[in-house]
Structure 1
């Protein structure tokens, strides 16, 4: 053990991706917390495409982006992609990697929490791990409802853990967050230093992060009643005057373009490989995804250009109510979120985001004839390289180094501000400055993406109910959810999916081939649970996914 500690003390942040030891497979008794933590945050083995953070940046991102109608399949090149997502056809095999990978990831944090530490050397690592455990547990229980918790994350010591109620999991996670803050404030234990690939050992930032995740838990419970509402209000009161994350919370164990396995996992999946080639394998395909028509209209000010010939196009404004609030307001983030396309017969000043209506095939409305797979919008430079505006081309040679080395966003500054805006709107006795936080969320989104014109955009939406800060409280709530949806596109879209499940905002159209009229409230437990934990896993059907019942996450019932 002493030898391990000696070796680890000399490891720098940039070395973490050079190690090929997976906490999921190594003997946990041989690893100290300062070695386990970087691998736990990155999701286990950094060489595994099924590692937790990889799945979050890829599979979970894709699921939520499709459900929230931000992305669509490029039907000009792929016929009718994403049928299961559009229908939606939710089975035990649908996106099951989310559950499997995140359970492994949480287990690594639990290993640090349970580590035998008689001298208290690793107390700060334990605190960080409690915060990260709560961060990931919330995603899982918000996607699946009740799940194994008190008997879970014990590796081979318990392969069939019982299921706990979502309400109890929420309470336990909030207690973990509070205990973590107390541990950090105690000042005991060694500073994590470079082994902390999130904040580099700056412990006050961990406290602010814990408070923000705690607020996320409590805001998610905005609609609960009875005992849980009393509990929520008591815990909200404890956040009065608390510090919250003042900047984007990111994670970077030393990402680079030296190999595919060392790239930012989002970049490697969605945009470009370390060689400069585009990803082309399965769903890991640059050409497979495009902006949806839905988000294109939102960003373009409810404007599209439909080609009438190879050299002409006609302007189109969608008459559906959902788009009327966007009329005439072009979002300055549009060209940083997605690539802009100059319509046939128009000049570059009229370039817009060109999306595909989910479920439409070429020749149908929303996927009009006259376009090709190369004349629809894909992820823009703001998502690819952040606020680095020195890179002006999406050509692989120009973006591979910067995009590969970009940190993963765990929690954006924009989301923090929108959480505080909603908290102040709903609970003005505890929180204040709702309008200020709302506008700060928009500004933070512009800043992260390297977009200009945030102040002008805010001015342009000031008098527009459901888009800007005006009208009734319900109008303002829809505005928060709309702006949060735009801000989290391509970053943490699962949080907008949970908000939609909770509030019904922003209004999100179904795909044209949808067989129902509502989106899923949750996912079905994965095949792995029905195979290995059959005595405990609830027996639910596909119908339960779309019905408000005992299987629905408790905060959405």
Structure 2
């Protein structure tokens, strides 16, 4: 861990060169990767950020999991994942990249800054801790109970104990509050070229940490034992400063050339495995959503936007040619389309929900409108079309879960895992009260799941290499490692 491996060094140097396009100071980083002088926290930050986003944005964990479970996309040919039969090797990879990749890099940043303290060390540690919270939160919401305390300083031992998700959540909020207090706007952090998200801007990292506090708190807002924590966290985060515009969006900026282009852009160069889901297309068409031509491409045959029924088994004789349905739009599959850690639109929808729940004072409707507007502006919708669209999807306090839920779901398009989490948390329908989501039309391939999974099963490696702790975790979540086991926060 005290030396950067050749692979990490190569990835980091290449990322810097491609993303910054700067060659004037090449001599500063052009050292022999086989004998690096020391681990550079900046290179480790690039590595951690890229591994994390590539992992949740790729064709496997985003395309074949999140984008299916949120019913943004359907499968063109191979429908097994949309019917909940997962590929265990990819499940292993998702877990391992976050633990042995992203979290390991972030732990090393903290270790280096603890061994020799510089003026920027406090901010570097805080930023690494904020990203660690983001990674642990992602793992917890995918799996429920996970190794947490054993991984705070590095998941180096083979038999790691699991912690209950209900105890992890409060600690994540505690850590974020501590990092907000630690961040010092008068001091430097990382060099701009080594922080792809915010270019070393400490103020923006503070807003991201507070906004992440909102996401984590609102997810447990139905849990009776956490009501006081949720209320205090949301109020404190807002007072400290959350996202206020799309300029604050936590985006990972991809570039034109591989291996640093958008992962879905790269996968579409050789395969066309995903098309638009009928669930999303039909609803957006019904409200004349101006984002539809951005999210999707017209069908080649009809020139219209046509979604494919979700969970259709084309190998069962129900063949629909790709030319007759809509593919994802060119903008969302562009090489430079950013990966998203969190954005301003989500923050405004959370604030709208917090007002609707009585946590915050103010107008839920105004926050709702700001959330819709932020999403439309971020997607490039013409300003004149925005008030017309908002008038077609008015806020209604009597059915706030459905109204906020549908628009938040649309705004989260391409953030497949977050769209899935919000679907199962809010259980929202169309604002009219009609069902929005459907079960796979040709049935689920998972005997425990009928409509949608509520979590992912633990990786096979954990079952085989960490069996004692795995068995305890399974008992903790209900006695069966099932995709139908519910999160502690999923009460309805």
TM-score interval for Structure 1 and Structure 2 normalised by the shorter chain: 0.7 to 0.9
CA distance in 2, matches of 1:512, 1:342: 24
1:358, 1:511 within 8 Å by CA — same for their partners in 2?
A: yes
Deviation string 1:34-73 (CA, Å, 9 cap, x unpaired) is 2211111111xxxxxxxx3212111222211111221111
1:67, 1:85 within 8 Å by CA — same for their partners in 2?
A: yes
Match of 2:278 in 1: 293
TM-superposed CA distance for 1:446, in Å, is: 1.6
Specify whether residues 444 and 114 from structure 1 end up closer, same or farther in structure 2 by C-alpha distance, changes over 3 A only.
Answer: same
Match of 1:374 in 2: 323
Match of 1:470 in 2: 396
Match of 1:360 in 2: 312
CA distance in 1, matches of 2:438, 2:133: 32
Structure 1 stretches of 5 or more lacking a match? 44-51, 272-277, 280-284, 302-328, 345-350, 385-402, 463-468
1:147, 1:164 within 8 Å by CA — same for their partners in 2?
A: yes
Larger deviation: 451-460 or 230-239?
Answer: 230-239
CA RMSD of aligned residues (A): 3.4
1:125, 1:192 within 8 Å by CA — same for their partners in 2?
A: no
1:229 is matched with which residue: 227, 230, 234?
227
Specify whether residues 471 and 529 from structure 1 end up closer, same or farther in structure 2 by C-alpha distance, changes over 3 A only.
Answer: same
Secondary structure of 1:457's counterpart equals: helix
Secondary structure of 1:405's counterpart equals: coil
Match of 1:408 in 2: 339
CA distance in 1, matches of 2:14, 2:201: 16
CA distance in 1, matches of 2:14, 2:322: 44
Specify whether residues 244 and 513 from structure 1 end up closer, same or farther in structure 2 by C-alpha distance, changes over 3 A only.
Answer: same
Alignment of 1:186-201 (within 5 A): 187-188=186-187, 190=189, 192-201=191-200
2:106 is matched with which residue: 100, 105, 109?
109
1:102, 1:136 within 8 Å by CA — same for their partners in 2?
A: yes
TM-superposed CA distance for 1:146, in Å, is: 0.9
Alignment of 1:272-421 (within 5 A): 278-279=269-270, 285=271, 287-301=272-286, 329-341=287-299, 344=302, 351-360=303-312, 372-384=321-333, 403-421=334-352
Specify whether residues 364 and 484 from structure 1 end up closer, same or farther in structure 2 by C-alpha distance, changes over 3 A only.
Answer: farther
1:124, 1:192 within 8 Å by CA — same for their partners in 2?
A: no
Secondary structure of 1:82's counterpart equals: coil
Specify whether residues 539 and 459 from structure 1 end up closer, same or farther in structure 2 by C-alpha distance, changes over 3 A only.
Answer: closer
CA distance in 1, matches of 2:79, 2:150: 36
TM-superposed CA distance for 1:192, in Å, is: 3.5
Match of 1:262 in 2: 260
Match of 1:481 in 2: 405
Specify whether residues 186 and 262 from structure 1 end up closer, same or farther in structure 2 by C-alpha distance, changes over 3 A only.
Answer: closer
TM-superposed CA distance for 1:159, in Å, is: 2.4
| Pairs aligned (count) | 451
CA distance in 2, matches of 1:503, 1:252: 27
TM-superposed CA distance for 1:555, in Å, is: 1.2
Specify whether residues 190 and 451 from structure 1 end up closer, same or farther in structure 2 by C-alpha distance, changes over 3 A only.
Answer: closer
Specify whether residues 457 and 190 from structure 1 end up closer, same or farther in structure 2 by C-alpha distance, changes over 3 A only.
Answer: closer
TM-superposed CA distance for 1:93, in Å, is: 5.1
Match of 1:68 in 2: 70
Deviation string 1:206-260 (CA, Å, 9 cap, x unpaired) is 111000000101000111012x22322332332342321232524446x4334x2
Specify whether residues 29 and 231 from structure 1 end up closer, same or farther in structure 2 by C-alpha distance, changes over 3 A only.
Answer: farther
Deviation string 1:117-169 (CA, Å, 9 cap, x unpaired) is 44344221111111111111111101111110111265574222211111221
Secondary structure of 1:290's counterpart equals: strand
1:120, 1:188 within 8 Å by CA — same for their partners in 2?
A: no
Specify whether residues 224 and 29 from structure 1 end up closer, same or farther in structure 2 by C-alpha distance, changes over 3 A only.
Answer: farther
Match of 1:322 in 2: none
2:459 is matched with which residue: 526, 533, 537?
526
2:375, 2:411 within 8 Å by CA — same for their partners in 1?
A: yes
Specify whether residues 508 and 92 from structure 1 end up closer, same or farther in structure 2 by C-alpha distance, changes over 3 A only.
Answer: same
Deviation string 1:261-318 (CA, Å, 9 cap, x unpaired) is 132223212x4xxxxxx22xxxxx2x221111111211221xxxxxxxxxxxxxxxxx
Larger deviation: 88-97 or 530-539?
Answer: 88-97
CA distance in 2, matches of 1:13, 1:91: 29
2:211, 2:237 within 8 Å by CA — same for their partners in 1?
A: no
TM-superposed CA distance for 1:28, in Å, is: 11
CA distance in 1, matches of 2:481, 2:124: 40
Specify whether residues 293 and 158 from structure 1 end up closer, same or farther in structure 2 by C-alpha distance, changes over 3 A only.
Answer: same
CA distance in 2, matches of 1:163, 1:150: 8
1:123, 1:183 within 8 Å by CA — same for their partners in 2?
A: yes
2:129, 2:175 within 8 Å by CA — same for their partners in 1?
A: yes
Specify whether residues 362 and 529 from structure 1 end up closer, same or farther in structure 2 by C-alpha distance, changes over 3 A only.
Answer: closer
Specify whether residues 28 and 235 from structure 1 end up closer, same or farther in structure 2 by C-alpha distance, changes over 3 A only.
Answer: farther
Match of 2:170 in 1: 171
Match of 1:119 in 2: 117
Match of 1:89 in 2: 85
Secondary structure of 2:306's counterpart equals: coil
CA distance in 2, matches of 1:29, 1:525: 38
1:208, 1:243 within 8 Å by CA — same for their partners in 2?
A: yes
TM-superposed CA distance for 1:524, in Å, is: 0.8
Asked if residue 54 in structure 1 is aligned to residue 54 in structure 2, the reply is yes
When you count helix as a share of all residues, which structure comes out higher?
A: 2
1:146, 1:164 within 8 Å by CA — same for their partners in 2?
A: yes
Structure 2 stretches of 5 or more lacking a match? 430-435
Specify whether residues 266 and 244 from structure 1 end up closer, same or farther in structure 2 by C-alpha distance, changes over 3 A only.
Answer: farther
1:145, 1:553 within 8 Å by CA — same for their partners in 2?
A: yes
TM-score by length of 2: 0.82
Secondary structure of 1:300's counterpart equals: helix
2:208, 2:250 within 8 Å by CA — same for their partners in 1?
A: no
TM-superposed CA distance for 1:513, in Å, is: 2.0
CA distance in 1, matches of 2:316, 2:89: 31
